[in-house]
Structures are given as C-alpha cells and as structure tokens.
A and B are shown apart, each in its own frame.
Chain A
C-alpha cells in the first residue's frame, strides 16, 4: 500500500513534465511550421505565378477568381503575387534591423555590464535618451532625413531596438560577473575581452534568443507602420504596409485588398510569437 502510494507520487511530476514539454513543442512546432510555410510561399509563389508583382494583369479591383485567387488591386495587379512577394522585402528589413540591433545591443550591454561603474552609467544614460523619444516618431524623423532606402530603414529600425538588447545583455552580464567561473578566469589572467567571449556570451545567449523573436515581430510591425505612412520601401516594390495604405479608400468595395496583406502580417507575427513563447518555456521555465 505504502509502496504504491510512493510509486504514484513519483510518477506524477514526470507526467506533468511530459505535458509541459508537449505544450512547448506544440508552440515551437506550430510557430515554426507557420513561418516555414510563409517563407516557402514567398519564394515559390512569385516563381510559379504567371504574373510579376508589377504586371497589370486585368481589370482594376476584380474580385477573387480562378486566375487571381486574391483578386486584383487598384492598378489591376495580382494581389496574391504581391502579398507573397512583399514577404521578402518586409522580412528583409525586419530581420536586418533585428540582427543589427542584436549585434550593437549585445556589445553595448556586455561592455556596460562587465565594466560597470562610470562606463555603465554613461552607456545606459545614452540609451535612456534614445528611449525617451516615441519610437515610431523617431523612426519617421530619421527616415525623413536619411531617405527611405532599404539600407536606411534597416539602420534606423536597428538603432531603435538597440536598447532592448543592451538591457537584456547588461542584466545577464551583471549577474554572471559575480559568478565564480568568471572570476576564476580573471585570476588565471584571461583578458577581459576573452572572458566576455568565452564565458559571458555563451551564457547570455538564451535570453537574447528569446528577445530576438519578440524584436522581429516588433520590427515587422514598425516596418509595416512606416510603409503604411509612406515612409517605408518605396513603390513599385510591394510591402504589406503600403498595400494596406493604397487600398484603404476602396476597402468597402474590395476588402480582399486589405485582408490579404493584413492576414500576412498577422500570421508572420503569430508565427514568431508562438516560436518565442515556446523557446521561453523551454529555456526559462520559471518565467511564466
């Protein structure tokens, strides 16, 4: 009797653990699947499609049909081809900006966290100044000054997201700084830069990866907002935000014009959020 009781008590936690693992995998898998489908589509659909994104293929504002599954836009271009093609330009900017901010933010944050003291105070105050501006307004102002090329967009938005990464990197670095293995390297005469590369970076990668997924979604939305306002990648290259902006005036007559790019934004953001949530659960089970 006592034995069976013990056995069941031992069994319970593993079952719970199994469930949460399944949940994590479900999140990660569904997120990854969604993203893979969209990315494959963004490559395959423009190739298979009989039309180019800038071709005028028929009547203006024709509803969805066998030839044009998502209908056509104001200029008679195929909405499906344009939606999938837009994935490339939108994602290029979103991913480019995210990776730029990871690189700069991580270096910024680890230097601040590792050095501490005055260096830390100055570096973080600079970021405070940056964060004091409303992000979208700052982006609009910068793009207006620099011009809205793809490179400038990446640069502007990349700068915008530096503080997030710098803060995450700094906090993790500061706690690692107190760990004995980091101090041990100091005693061994390991130079600071090498200490950061071998001990700090590998051990702060997890929170940074999690931060990455949420930053990709944020920069995707920012890019769409900029495009919507006409500050993003310029026509005729299709982007989701610009497609929505073009069609707001005819939204009641031709809702597919807004629905297609709108759904695309939603699905990509959802994909990254699911992936991010799953990764967070997997690496950091305490933060829920």
Chain B
C-alpha cells in the first residue's frame, strides 16, 4: 500500500471555556488517528457536536490543534515554518456548509472565485482569468455568471460557486463540511454527482463531513463514524453499511429509512438519553452511558483503534469497542 496523502495522528482540540469562575475545557476532538489515501473519499459522520466539523477545520487550519500531528504528503504541517505551511495548505481546500453565508454578498462571482489566486501573488492576471473561466466550466456554471452577485443564484448554483472557489486553487484534497445539508433535497443529488465527477476527472481526494449516513455512503469509499470527539468505527463503505460492529454505528444504521414498500423492516435501535457534555465526557468508552451492552470494563478502560492503524492495518475495518 502506498503512503497515505494525509496522516492524522492523535489529533486533539480542546476549547477553553469559562462559565462564571470556573474554567472548563470542551473536548471537541480527542486523540483522533486517521489515514487518508490518495484518491479516496473518506466520509466522516456523527451527530451534531461530535467534533466532525472541528476535525475538518483543523485540517485546513481554521483552528490550531491542541495536540497531535497532521502530515500531508509526508510533511508534518505543524512543524513547518508559517509561510511554508500557508503554501502547503493551499493544497487543502474547504467547501463550506451554507452557500448563503460563505459567499461575500458584495463581491461578484469573478472576484469570489479568483480571491485565492490573487492572494497567492505569484500568478499573473491572464492566468487567473484563464483558470477562473476553466473552473467555471467544470462546475457547470455559465460564463455570464462571472459578472453577477451571489444573491442572483439559487442555492445549488451558489454551492457550485463555493466549489469553484476551492477548485481554482488546484488542491489535492477537498474538505467538504456538510456541503449539501443546507440545500434543497432536489439539488443535493446534483451537487453530490458534481463532486463525484470532479473527483474522477481531477483525481481529487475528499474528506466528506455529514450527519446524513445515506448521503455519506453514496459518495464515500470509506466511512469513519464519530461519537463525542472520538472515532468509534472506521471501514470501507460496504463494511460499515452491511456489517457494522460498533453498537453506535448499528443504531445510526437502523435509523436510515427504508424506501422500498414491503421491504423487510430492520429492527429500529433507539438510544436512550442524550449525548453527554463534551466538557465532562464519561470515563473509559465515551459511548457507555447510552450503550445497550456496556459493562464495568467500559467505564474503566477506553477501547482504542489508534494502535492498529499505526502498526499497518491487517484489516481495513476497525472498531473501538471491547465487545465487537
């Protein structure tokens, strides 16, 4: 197996918060280890607040990690000089969730897409114009879109503009943070297909963050399931969808509606209680407070999947559960 394009080792992000006199720490992401292979789509799923967006933002540098290391093409990002890191980070681009909020309402589409190229400083005017037009064709927007403002477009078209803005930097990896959840259902599929086409044509690698397991399964080669800041299960899409082993993943899967009439009903697993606060997560396995099969072992010892990735995976399907 070739070296992964992106190696995430022990990535941790704690946000300090203050409530009254107490200083507390939100453990948004805790000791996450991942490998992302060149050309694959890794889906990151979990419910809101599980830290999936924080991971996405850590990857592109919107937050500084509290601990851990991200290695891109064999180069450790954190230990690079700032300028160098900025240059390398251009290879990692981000597609935002809400296309209404991610495009400056006072800028024309031309300027929005070209912004990163201007900021680069080393690209000539002609080249910029050429690349902007090229990328516009790729995402399926008409040429006359360039002179218009974002509010003149529909939600799906705006997301295409957002994708064009990322694509024009010629990135190797695109981190898409819930790129379709703010869109109408009717255009969600269009955007997913566009992302799929772009990946094939350009050989891109995606990190696809979403809370919708069905959408993630549609685009992803592999899926990582997160719960309360940790990855609980990771495997190929087929492995996760058909032979999930972690009780949390099983519960998520059972919640996907079955569209076929008369199909055999899956048994619905309903989790009781709420997600515990990330300020004070449960000891040991973080899922144990809601887990149907938890025992004393789960409270004392945290199950881990990090070690297995480090030693070179014998299998692609890893589970952080004592009983799976």
Contact = CB atoms under 8 A, between A and B. Distances in A.
A253 to B, nearest CB: 59
Given A187-B93, A198-B107, A180 B101 contact: yes
B133 interface: no
Interface residues of B, number: 26
A191 B94 contact: no
Contacts of B165: 184, 188
A192 to B, nearest CB: 11
Nearest to B111: A198
Contact of A190 (B96, B107, B116): B116
B97 interface: yes
Contacts of A23: none
B102 A184 contact: yes
Please classify the interface of chain A as helix (H, G, I), strand (E, B), loop, or mixed, using the class held by over half of its residues.
Answer: helix
Given A180-B97, A187-B61, A187-B93, A202 B119 contact: no
Interface residues of A, number: 17
A181 B120 contact: no
Contact of B96 (A184, A191, A202): A184
Contacts of A180: 96-98, 101-102
Contact of B116 (A179, A189, A199, A202): A189
B102 A181 contact: yes
A130 interface: no
A188 B119 contact: yes
Contacts of B96: 180, 183-184
Contacts of B98: 180
Contact of A181 (B62, B86, B104): B104
Contacts of B240: none
Interface string A166-188: 00000000000001110111111
Given A184-B94, A186-B62, 11 more contacts: A179-B101, A184-B102, A184-B103, A184-B165, A187-B61, A187-B93, A187-B94, A189-B116, A198-B115, A203-B104, A203-B105
Leading 7 A-B pairs by shortest Cβ distance: A188-B116, A180-B102, A190-B119, A180-B101, A181-B104, A180-B96, A187-B94
28 contacts: A179-B101, A180-B97, A181-B102, A181-B103, A183-B96, A184-B94, A184-B96, A184-B102, A184-B103, A185-B115, A186-B61, A186-B62, A187-B60, A187-B61, A187-B62, A189-B86, A189-B87, A189-B89, A189-B116, A189-B120, A190-B115, A190-B116, A194-B119, A199-B104, A202-B104, A202-B106, A203-B105, A203-B106
Interface of A: 179-181, 183-191, 194, 198-199, 202-203
